[in-house]
Amino acid sequence: MHSRGSSNRPSNSGGPAFYSRSSALVLAMFATMATIYVAGRMWQDAEIRVYLVQQLDRRTGQGHSAISVDDTLKIIACREQQKKLSALEMDLADAKQEGFVSKEHLENDGTRSKKRLLAVIGIITTFGRKKNRDAIRKAWMQSGAALKKVEEEKGIVVRFVIGRSANRGDSLDSEINNENSQTNDFIILDHVEAPEERSKKIKSFFVHAVEIWDAEFYVKVNDDVYVNIDALGAALSTHLDKPRVYMGCMKSGEVFSEPTHKWYEPDWWKFGDAKSYFRHASGEIYAISRALAQFISINRSILRIYAHDDVSAGSWFIGLDVKHVNEGKFCCSTWSTGSICAAV
């Protein structure tokens, strides 16, 4: 009995070694599984990082596998510049719709089609002054192909400026239409032609001219003044470096409060007790730079006018940072060598 019981009992021979081998096997299995798991996660993370870098490269247009902090800041700055450019393009589109940019001188891509002109000269005329206009055409303005040549070679556009009759379509309007069909040298404003409306007419001329022609200067001339085009161009060219120029034969003078006086000023009381006008250019001829013409165009509805057009023009620049150039060559009382104008 004893021996048989002894023979059925498991032998303890090699027990500790067996348990050691089993533990090592289990640990090896766990280690292998852990290694496979970690490797899989690392591979997955690596794939994700590669994908993210590729997406960043694609979106930023960079050709590098990674982007530095400096490059990232540059990208952000570029994006801000793109936003500003988009906003400016929208503002430009709005300006075109409002008429602040000449459509005549814009190509399909929105760029200027011609080089900027030096000057646009508006000769202020009215009904019944054809003899004056013909004399000016012969003396200094030219006509036909010669007028076009002045524009192309000297960069100076010259046009007569006139409004419409109070009775639209009457014989006065017909005469101007017929004359313009032969000469093609008029700016015909949508403005009633009348002596008391002259200041409004001058403002309308600057508005019209700056919207049609891109020029450095815009010049107003009376139709009883002869102009030396070359001398005028030379004088204007010396002030191209000044953004806001008001140039002419500067003067002042008494403000007349008597209604019967030829030069009566209804707003005389605004000029103080001494009743003297501020300095302004003589109305025979004066020039303003492009920035000032644009200012008149933009603020046309709120610019005050006075009884006299030269005073009105001078008043528009009071309070602005404008360079007043008192040029003796613009004084038309006498003609001498180098003079720009002569009144007749």
- Domains present along the chain, CATH in parentheses: 78-113 (no CATH), 117-343 (3.90.550)
pLDDT of the residue at 258: 75
Q: Please name which of 223, 224, 239, 331 lies closest in space to residue 286, comparing C-alpha atoms.
A: 331
Instruction: Report whether 127 contacts 218 (CB < 8 A).
Output: no
Instruction: Report whether 211 contacts 99 (CB < 8 A).
Output: yes
pLDDT of the residue at 115: 85
pLDDT of the residue at 60: 54
Stated length of the chain: 344
Q: What is the 3-state secondary structure (H, E, C) of 185-220?
A: CEEEEEEECCHHHHHHHHHHHHHHHHHHCCEEEEEE
User: From first to last of its 344 residues, what are the pLDDT tens digits of the chain?
Assistant: 444 444 444 444 455 554 555 565 556 566 666 555 555 555 555 556 556 556 656 655 554 445 565 666 666 666 666 766 676 666 666 655 544 444 444 444 444 446 899 999 999 999 999 999 999 999 999 999 999 999 999 999 999 999 999 999 999 999 999 999 999 999 999 989 999 899 999 999 999 999 999 999 999 999 999 999 999 999 999 999 999 999 999 988 777 777 888 778 787 766 756 677 788 899 999 999 999 999 999 999 999 888 888 989 999 998 899 999 999 999 998 766 778 999 88
The C-alpha atoms of residue 164 and residue 190 are separated, in whole angstroms, by: 6
pLDDT of the residue at 37: 59
Instruction: Report whether 218 contacts 293 (CB < 8 A).
Output: yes
Instruction: Report whether 248 contacts 327 (CB < 8 A).
Output: yes
The C-alpha atoms of residue 180 and residue 279 are separated, in whole angstroms, by: 36
Q: Please name which of 310, 326, 154, 344 lies closest in space to residue 232, comparing C-alpha atoms.
A: 154
**The pair of three-digit structure tokens given for residue 35, joined into one six-digit string:** 């290694």
The C-alpha atoms of residue 317 and residue 23 are separated, in whole angstroms, by: 100
pLDDT of the residue at 147: 95
| 159 φ/ψ angles, rounded to the nearest 5 degrees | -145, 150
pLDDT of the residue at 113: 45
Whole-prediction pTM value? 0.65
